[in-house]
């Protein structure tokens, strides 16, 4: 229960006080009227005694009376009827509202900080730590104001409004003051008249009211003397006469009006009457002047005043209503015309008039005299009168009851020991007609109990109440019994020292009797109010809440609202606060407040309940509370609060049905529309719907992308449909940095920033972006509709602020005025400023239920300056499915705005930024509009989407300058420079149009029959290649270096399919500059991303083998080539196409080579002019002879040039040294490791690297051996494919590249997949240097070239002669530039079973071990040897051991190799490759013998008709 300003004891004592009536003469009223007061009002602030009083009880015990207060009212006061009471109670509650601006009373309950005295939804920060401590402080504080003053005002007025009843005497008059002015001619006669009038009112029986406590009412005679206008001596003499007549204890002389003139402006006198007179005077309902101060003037809303709420059936025992006209206050029977006149005068006060000053003629001495008068009256008149009556009543009761019915024994006999048989209330019969006469003993006991209660003699009062209760119960007089039970319980509680516990069951029985038996809710309510306060003081909050909740009913909404609110406070003040019950009952209280017309209190209750439900997931309850708060705020003319409440309903994710949400939205629109009507000229209000995700706002600078027109495809560039990819953004930035570095001669400017056309939350927005005048910008706003009903946004546009600025002037230009379109947008004229910035307006934009949708709004600046996009403006409405009338729909539209406020990224660089939360700016909505810049558009013509791997396709590119400014410095960079080429500067650009080149070959061709290779010398610089780096940025030549406004340039573009199949994304970045050097934008870029699907074509594998042919007889040029070195190049071509692209077959039309050292010389296989044709999954094997280029001895310039050699396999030669073949060769994949040093010269390196043991090292030996096996030769395989597409046969062309680097090592055209690196452990210590590497066996085998000569066929008659001797000759040649020692060992030292079998089949005749020393490039003469074969199939063999001088102890083995057997000699080439026969079946081996070294045991195999002759041997260590 809420805290009160009074303690429970004070509250109960002030609720039941002695009643004193006043009867004044006309002159006395005139004297008091000088102070704008009646005589009872004059005494009211001084009616509480400041000193203690004493009296003795019947047992002669002294009773101390503390803080006694008396109630003084006019005898003509009319008791109000039920309707008036309801009205006045409602007005009293309405007049009390929570204080504004005072510290909020906050209770900490669990996780909640509940503000219980303010209407604000948000609770203030608690100024205390513990709610128990707070309650203790508040209860002991004298300056604490009640948390619910409206409840106390209601309770006070309710208790004062209770009329006097016959079953109790607490509200009956104990005394009557007779007041006469000293101006009267004969005051004693006036006293006599007033005394007779009082006697007539009390005893004539004409008046129902007022009611008197005892027949012998105390009459106290007061002589009122006006000091300012009267004779004080005469007054004293009259007073002396009065003392003689009425006694010193029955009269008093009161002197007032000491002030003769009005108080000055600087003199301030206290006004103790204002706090009493501002309260609603229940006993003078016609004094309505006081009611003008009531805040709540909405009288029409107070439905609690409706007479239908009154009880229709009046119980006989119910308190008498004031319908009886017989009361002294009725004007027709008034005995005090002065009081009536005052009442009528106050009723005619004009509303809104200035408050009347009270006590203007009184001084502080007068105040003291009045206070002294009240004390004298109480101590010398009232208390002795009460004490005498208590003794008389006690004596009467004792004498009337006799011995058997004494006060203490009668009830024991009647009720068997004093115990009343318990009966339920339902069993008790309704004694409606039971009325006790005034002299009945039961009423005398009750009268004595009431007198004792009024003078705080609670112990005797409790005994009397207890006795009377038993008497009434025995007579089943339930109304009287309930009254006695009620007061007995209160008396028991108020007894000092608490000798007995509080009998709460007495109160429960009394409440139930009042309510259910007597049907008197007024008395039941009084009983409940008293009991609740008592229970609350004993911390029994649960019982108090239960009691209050039981008292709620449908007959009075105001009472139910107040009691429910107090029950809610009981829940929050429990030892374990029940917060949710508090909120629930506050909602119930708010509902009843609303029904009672107390809109402000209803709003307050709902706001307090919202503190509990807010943010706890109770969405339905939260929606209901917000909806009610919105309606109540709107009714109370608080549209801002109403809009805020409805806003919470709409912006949160509600679980309401679509119908309910639609109702919420309509209500919100109606409230919002009424709020915005008076402020049409002002700023637009902020709308809550739809939700705008400001952080997801994107801004794009530029035009919309163009659609493809036939074969003409525009560059993709950047657009809002593309999702942000951080890797792609980094890629574009790197490309732009590359091309900027090239444009600035290799250095990147310090102020360089990558161009950003589309700004979002993922981009760097710390700097102001640049936009170009006369070029549009698009703002993409993300809307989310949280409701289940569609939202319609009409006239949607952007709000902006623009500051004009001329950048052409000095020091950054001059700044002009600032312009905004807020006023125009508010009036629905967003296009009014289109001469400055054209603003796009979307007529209608619909966001579906629970949909997230983006809107793209366009701005087109026409002047330079600084632009700031502020937000969006639109009309918000909803579309009704069942209402198609446009007029009705337009009424539900409201115009408003939403600001686009974007928070920048958190700063985390400095120490201060790391230790605090700071955010940087986000400038994406604040572009700088720069002067005109060139604008490039790029179109691709006949650009393919699918290619075969290595396929060459010719397309066209068109560059168009669509701006009014010329552009220059056109360049293009790409992530795949090997994919395209624009041709070399010397390329033949005919045909010059796409149409003319439709059926032409992409290559430059010549009609030439197959012959030796055609050789061409080409410099890489002609194709834009410098050094070993491939070109990444290509400069596009322009006529005069400038592309003027509106001009277009069309150039060819050759494309080559990627070597790896799959989908490839190829990025192009076109860079161009403005001719204006001081432009804000130094350059611009255009992006294009092409997606190419590559399909399989051919797989080419190539191997280079050293030729075993030694210089011999023949042409001179051939001998020179053999002496300078030659190789055999084996090319294996396989058709790996799966015919998915409709490819029927591939033709190998030409094989070309490109190298600075080697070239293809002639084709060995296939022979003749046969074209190699490969169907699906077929494989072709080609063999070529390669020789060293003759340019070695030429100038140094020739060393940097590449030799292109073309070997065409048909009648058409493709010039590989021109565009596009040479371009793609130089743009091929990542280059191999550069061959530093080229060819070793004899005079230089050889002298420094002498291979004598004394001066050689392992590193130099390894280097020489490695260089001996290195080769730099690139093979270009050109092919044609025949494709059937749309019943037409098309010819596709292409080229594949194979780079040979090492002799004997296979190279492939398909790039091998990189293996993932294995995870390695971190090393904190450096590794030891690796040991010196030594040449491998494979490298050593390349130093010596061997040639084995033997007869092609040998006839021998084995039957006649069992042994056959075959002559064999071995020739050795040193291929390196170092001296080499060679050991040849023919002895058999192998012990394996297979070797023993082989070695046992033949034997060598003659010398079996040779040791030779070969000088650089020396050819050793032949070594004769004979082979002896027995008369069976034998398998003789030989072994050669080779070691380099100075490398003693190393194993040198002859590796397996495949050889071709010629009629005169057989060449041994140390290689892993075999002789490749062409796939054609028309060629057969020239001779019937094959010789090859088998891989398993290193032996030669002679085969003929499945008869084998193996030559093998073991290799010994040197």
What's the residue count for the chain?
1518
Report the distance separating Cα 771 and Cα 1109, nearest Å.
Answer: 72
Task: State phi, psi for 1271 to the nearest 5 degrees.
Answer: -150, 140
Give helix then strand counts, H and E, for the chain.
36, 58
Measured CA to CA, the distance from residue 708 to residue 639 in angstroms comes to: 55
List, in sequence order, every residue forming a beta bridge with 457; answer none if it has no partner. Answer: none
Residue 539 main-chain phi, psi, to 5 deg: 60, 25
Nearest of 216, 622, 257, 543 to residue 388 by alpha carbon: 216
DSSP H helices, 653-725, are: 658-676
For the whole model, what pTM was predicted? Answer: 0.67
DSSP reduced 3-state for 161: helix
The rounded distance, in Å, linking the Cα atoms of 1197 and 1204 is 16
Mean per-residue pLDDT pooled into runs of 10, the chain (1518 residues):
72 91 92 89 90 89 90 86 87 81 53 52 30 43 58 89 88 93 90 92 85 91 88 90 91 85 60 72 39 36 36 35 46 39 40 64 90 92 93 85 42 39 46 72 92 92 92 91 93 81 91 91 92 92 94 91 93 89 92 91 90 84 88 85 83 81 85 66 77 91 80 84 85 90 86 88 89 92 90 91 81 75 80 85 90 92 91 85 46 83 86 84 90 91 90 91 91 89 64 55 79 79 71 85 90 90 91 84 90 91 82 57 75 84 83 89 73 83 86 55 87 86 80 36 30 49 78 90 80 91 86 54 64 69 77 82 83 80 74 61 78 79 68 40 32 34 36 34 36 32 33 31
Determine the pLDDT at residue 1450. Answer: 33
Q: What is the token pair recorded at 911?
A: 């120490």
The CA-atom distances, in angstroms, between 412 and each of 408, 463, 489, 503, 1207 are: 8, 14, 21, 21, 144
- Strand spans (E) along 707-813: 712-714, 758-759, 770-772, 777-784, 791-806
Residues contacting residue 1378 through CB under 8 Å, at least 6 positions apart: 1246, 1249, 1251, 1264, 1416, 1444
What are the tokens at 881?
A: 């499915």
506 HSE (CA, 13 A, CB side):
25
State the alpha helices, DSSP H only, in 744-861. 822-826
Count other Cβ atoms within 10 Å, centred on residue 1491: 20
**The token pair that represents 446 in the structure block:** 């009750």
Q: d(Cα 19, Cα 174) in Å, to the nearest integer?
A: 6
The whole-angstrom separation of Cα 1015 and Cα 995 is 33
Residue 755, class by beta-carbon neighbours within 10 Å (0-12 exposed, 13-18 middle, 19+ buried)? Answer: buried
For residue 77, give the nearest of 155, 157, 20 by alpha carbon.
20
Give the residue ranges of DSSP H helices in 1022-1089.
none
Query: For residue 1206, which of 1146, 1161, 1167, 1173 has the smallest C-alpha distance?
Result: 1161
Q: Residue 671 has what pLDDT? A: 83
How many Cα neighbours within 13 Å face the side chain of 837?
33
- The C-alpha angle with vertex 659 and arms to 658 and 664, in degrees rounded to 5, equals 95
H runs (alpha helix) in 847-918: 886-890, 911-915
**CA atoms 454, 460, 466, 469: torsion sign:** negative
Beta strand 1179-1188 pairing with 1126-1135: antiparallel
Calpha distance 435→645 (Å, rounded): 58
* Distance, CA of 790 to chain centre: 23
Kindly state the tokens that stand for 1267: 């260089």
- Which tokens sit at 50? 């400041």
Asked if 952 and 1149 touch (Cβ cutoff 8 Å), the reply is no
What pLDDT is attached to residue 319?
Answer: 38
CA 552/CA 525 separation, integer angstroms? 9
What φ, ψ does residue 916 adopt, rounded to 5°?
-135, 175
How far CA 645 is from CA of 260, 599, 603, 649, 672, in Å, comes to 59, 16, 11, 7, 11
Q: By CB neighbour count within 10 A (0-12 exposed, 13-18 middle, 19+ buried), where does 300 fall? A: exposed
Rounded to the nearest angstrom, the gap between the alpha carbon of residue 530 and the centroid of all alpha carbons in its chain is 53
Assign residue 1082 a region (left: φ > 0; alpha: ψ between -120 and 50; beta: otherwise): alpha
In 3D space, the residue among 519, 425, 438 whose CA is nearest the CA of residue 476 turns out to be 425
For residue 965, what are the contacts with CB-CB under 8 A and spacing of at least 6? Answer: 932, 933, 934, 935, 1045, 1074, 1075, 1076
Query: 818, 809 in Cβ contact below 8 A?
Result: no
Handedness of CA 642, 648, 650, 654 (dihedral sign): negative
Pair 1401, 1433: CB distance under 8 Å: yes
DSSP β-ladder status, 1380-1385 and 1440-1442: antiparallel
Task: Please name which of 1188, 1187, 1186 lies closest in space to residue 1199, comparing C-alpha atoms.
Answer: 1188
Which residue, chain included where needed, has tokens 């396999």? Answer: 1209
Report the C-alpha gap between 944 and 979 in whole angstroms.
12
Q: Looking up tokens 């979307």, which residue turns up? A: 842
């Amino acid at each position: 229960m809420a805290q009160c300003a009074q303690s429970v004891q004070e509250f109960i004592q002030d609720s039941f006080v002695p009643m004193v009536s006043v009867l004044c003469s006309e002159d006395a009223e005139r004297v008091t009227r000088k102070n704008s007061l009646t005589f009872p009002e004059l005494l009211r602030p001084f009616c509480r005694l400041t000193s203690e009083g004493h009296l003795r009880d019947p047992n002669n015990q002294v009773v101390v009376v503390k803080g006694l207060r008396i109630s003084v009212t006019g005898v003509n006061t009319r008791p109000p009827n039920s309707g008036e009471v309801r009205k006045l109670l409602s007005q009293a509650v309405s007049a009390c509202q929570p204080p504004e601006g005072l510290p909020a009373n906050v209770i900490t309950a669990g996780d909640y900080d509940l503000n219980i005295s303010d209407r604000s939804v948000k609770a203030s920060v608690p100024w205390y730590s513990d709610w128990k401590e707070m309650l203790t402080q508040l209860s002991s504080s004298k300056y604490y104001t009640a948390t619910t003053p409206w409840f106390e005002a209601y309770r006070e007025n309710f208790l004062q409004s209770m009329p006097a009843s016959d079953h109790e005497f607490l509200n009956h008059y104990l005394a009557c003051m007779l007041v006469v002015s000293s101006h009267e001619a004969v005051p004693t006669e006036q006293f006599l008249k007033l005394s007779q009038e009082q006697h007539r009112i009390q005893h004539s029986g004409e008046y129902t009211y007022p009611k008197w406590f005892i027949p012998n009412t105390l009459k106290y005679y007061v002589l009122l003397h006006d000091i300012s206008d009267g004779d004080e001596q005469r007054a004293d003499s009259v007073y002396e006469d009065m003392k003689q007549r009425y006694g010193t204890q029955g009269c008093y002389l009161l002197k007032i009006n000491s002030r003769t003139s009005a108080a000055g402006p600087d003199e301030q006198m206290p006004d103790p009457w204002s706090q009493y007179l501002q309260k609603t005077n229940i006993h003078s309902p016609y004094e309505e002047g006081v009611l003008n101060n009531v805040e709540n003037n909405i009288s029409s809303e107070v439905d609690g005043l409706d007479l239908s709420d009154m009880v229709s059936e009046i119980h006989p025992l119910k308190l008498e209503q004031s319908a009886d006209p017989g009361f002294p206050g009725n004007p027709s029977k008034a005995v005090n015309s002065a009081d009536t006149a005052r009442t009528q005068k106050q009723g005619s006060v004009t509303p809104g008039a200035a408050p009347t000053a009270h006590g203007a003629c009184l001084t502080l001495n007068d105040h003291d005299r009045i206070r002294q008068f009240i004390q004298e009256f109480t101590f010398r008149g009232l208390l002795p009168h009460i004490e005498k009556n208590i003794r008389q009543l006690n004596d009467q009761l004792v004498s009337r009851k006799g011995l058997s019915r004494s006060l203490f024994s009668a009830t024991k006999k009647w009720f068997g020991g004093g115990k009343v048989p318990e009966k339920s209330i339902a069993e008790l019969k309704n004694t409606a007609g039971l009325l006790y006469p005034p002299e009945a003993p039961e009423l005398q006991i009750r009268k004595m109990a009431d007198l004792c209660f009024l003078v705080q003699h609670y112990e005797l009062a409790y005994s009397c109440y207890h006795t009377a209760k038993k008497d009434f119960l025995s007579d089943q007089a339930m109304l009287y019994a309930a009254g006695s039970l009620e007061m007995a319980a209160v008396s028991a509680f108020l007894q000092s020292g608490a000798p007995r516990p509080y009998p709460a069951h007495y109160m429960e029985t009394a409440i139930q009797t009042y309510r259910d038996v007597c049907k008197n809710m007024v008395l039941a309510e009084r009983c409940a109010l008293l009991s609740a306060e008592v229970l609350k003081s004993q911390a029994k909050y649960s019982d108090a809440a239960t009691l209050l909740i039981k008292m709620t009913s449908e007959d009075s909404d105001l009472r139910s609202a107040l009691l429910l609110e107090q029950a809610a406070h009981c829940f929050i003040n429990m030892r374990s606060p029940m917060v949710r019950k508090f909120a629930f009952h506050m909602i119930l209280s708010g509902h009843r407040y609303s029904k009672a017309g107390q809109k402000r209190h209803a709003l307050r209750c709902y706001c307090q309940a919202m503190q509990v439900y807010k943010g706890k997931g109770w969405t339905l309850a939260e929606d209901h509370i917000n909806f009610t708060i919105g309606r109540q705020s709107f009714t109370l003319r608080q549209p801002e609060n109403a809009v805020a409440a409805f806003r919470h309903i709409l912006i949160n994710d509600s679980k309401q049905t679509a119908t309910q949400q639609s109702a919420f939205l309509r209500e919100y629109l109606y409230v919002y529309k009424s709020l915005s009507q008076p402020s049409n000229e002002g700023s637009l209000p902020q709308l809550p719907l739809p939700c705008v995700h400001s952080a997801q706002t994107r801004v794009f600078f530029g035009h919309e992308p163009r659609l493809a027109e036939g074969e003409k495809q525009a560059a993709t560039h950047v657009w809002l449909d593309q999702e942000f990819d951080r890797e792609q953004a980094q890629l574009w930035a790197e490309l732009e940095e590359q091309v900027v570095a090239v444009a600035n001669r290799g250095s990147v400017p310090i102020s360089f920033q990558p161009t950003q056309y589309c700004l979002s939350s993922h981009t760097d927005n710390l700097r102001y972006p640049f936009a170009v005048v006369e070029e549009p910008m698009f703002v993409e706003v993300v809307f989310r509709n949280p409701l289940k009903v569609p939202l319609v946004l009409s006239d949607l546009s952007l709000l902006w602020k623009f500051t004009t600025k001329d950048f052409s002037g000095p020091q950054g230009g001059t700044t002009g005025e600032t312009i905004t379109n807020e006023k125009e947008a508010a009036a629905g004229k967003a296009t009014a400023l289109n001469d400055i910035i054209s603003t796009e307006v979307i007529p209608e934009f619909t966001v579906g239920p629970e949909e997230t949708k983006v809107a793209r709004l366009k701005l087109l600046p026409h002047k330079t300056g600084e632009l700031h996009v502020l937000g969006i403006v639109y009309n918000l409405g909803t579309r009704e499915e069942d209402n198609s009338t446009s007029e009705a729909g337009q009424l539900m539209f409201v115009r408003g705005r939403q600001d686009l406020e974007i928070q920048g990224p958190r700063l985390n660089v400095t120490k201060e930024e790391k230790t605090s939360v700071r955010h940087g700016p986000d400038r994406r909505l604040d572009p700088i509009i720069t002067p005109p810049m060139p604008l490039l558009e790029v179109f691709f013509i006949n650009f393919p989407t699918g290619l075969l791997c290595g396929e060459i396709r010719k397309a066209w590119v068109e560059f168009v300058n669509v701006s009014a400014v010329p552009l220059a410095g056109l360049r293009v960079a790409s992530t795949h420079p090997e994919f395209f080429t624009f041709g070399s500067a010397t390329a033949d650009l005919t045909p010059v149009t796409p149409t003319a080149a439709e059926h032409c070959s992409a290559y430059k061709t010549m009609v030439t029959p197959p012959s030796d290779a055609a050789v061409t010398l080409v410099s890489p610089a002609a194709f834009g290649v410098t050094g070993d780096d491939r070109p990444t940025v290509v400069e596009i030549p322009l006529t005069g270096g400038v592309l003027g406004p509106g001009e277009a340039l069309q150039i060819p573009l050759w494309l080559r399919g990627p070597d790896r199949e799959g989908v490839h994304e190829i990025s192009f970045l076109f860079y161009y500059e403005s001719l204006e050097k001081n432009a804000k934008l130094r350059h611009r870029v255009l992006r294009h991303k092409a997606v190419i699907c590559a399909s399989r074509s051919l797989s080419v594998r190539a191997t280079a083998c050293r030729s075993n042919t030694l210089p011999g007889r023949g042409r001179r040029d051939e001998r020179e080539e053999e002496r300078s070195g030659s190789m055999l190049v084996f090319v294996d071509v396989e058709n790996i196409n799966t015919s998915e692209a409709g490819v029927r077959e591939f033709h190998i039309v030409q094989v070309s080579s490109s190298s600075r050292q080697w070239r293809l010389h002639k084709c060995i296989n296939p022979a003749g002019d046969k074209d190699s044709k490969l169907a699906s999954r077929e494989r072709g094997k080609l063999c070529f002879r390669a020789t060293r280029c003759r340019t070695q001895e030429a100038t140094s310039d020739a060393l940097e040039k590449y030799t292109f050699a073309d070997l065409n396999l048909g009648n058409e030669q493709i010039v590989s040294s021109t565009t596009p073949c040479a371009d793609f060769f130089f743009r091929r994949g990542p280059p191999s490791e550069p061959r530093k040093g080229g060819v070793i010269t004899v005079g230089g390196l050889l002298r420094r690297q002498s291979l004598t043991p004394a001066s050689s090292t392992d590193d130099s030996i390894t280097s020489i051996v490695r260089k001996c096996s290195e080769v730099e030769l690139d093979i270009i395989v050109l092919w044609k494919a025949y494709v059937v597409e749309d019943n037409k046969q098309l010819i596709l062309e292409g080229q594949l590249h194979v780079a040979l680097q090492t002799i004997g090592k296979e190279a492939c055209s398909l790039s091998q997949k990189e293996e993932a690196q294995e995870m390695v452990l971190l090393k904190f210590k450096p590794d030891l240097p690796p040991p010196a590497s030594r040449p491998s066996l494979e490298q050593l085998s390349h130093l010596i070239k061997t040639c084995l000569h033997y007869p092609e066929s040998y006839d021998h008659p084995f039957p006649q002669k069992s042994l056959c001797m075959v002559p064999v000759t071995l020739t050795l040649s040193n291929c390196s530039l170092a001296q080499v020692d060679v050991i040849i060992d023919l002895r058999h030292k192998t012990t394996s079973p297979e070797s023993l079998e082989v070695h046992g089949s033949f034997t060598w005749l003659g010398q079996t071990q040779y040791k030779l020393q070969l000088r650089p490039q020396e050819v050793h003469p032949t070594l004769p040897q004979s082979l002896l074969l027995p008369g069976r199939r034998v398998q003789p063999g030989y072994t050669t051991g080779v070691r380099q001088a100075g490398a003693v102890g190393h194993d040198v083995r002859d590796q397996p190799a495949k050889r071709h057997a010629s009629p005169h000699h057989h060449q041994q080439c140390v290689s892993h490759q075999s002789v490749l026969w062409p796939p054609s079946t028309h060629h057969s081996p020239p001779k019937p013998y094959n010789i090859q070294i088998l891989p398993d045991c290193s032996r030669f195999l002679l085969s003929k008709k499945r008869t084998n002759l193996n030559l093998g041997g073991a290799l010994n260590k040197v």
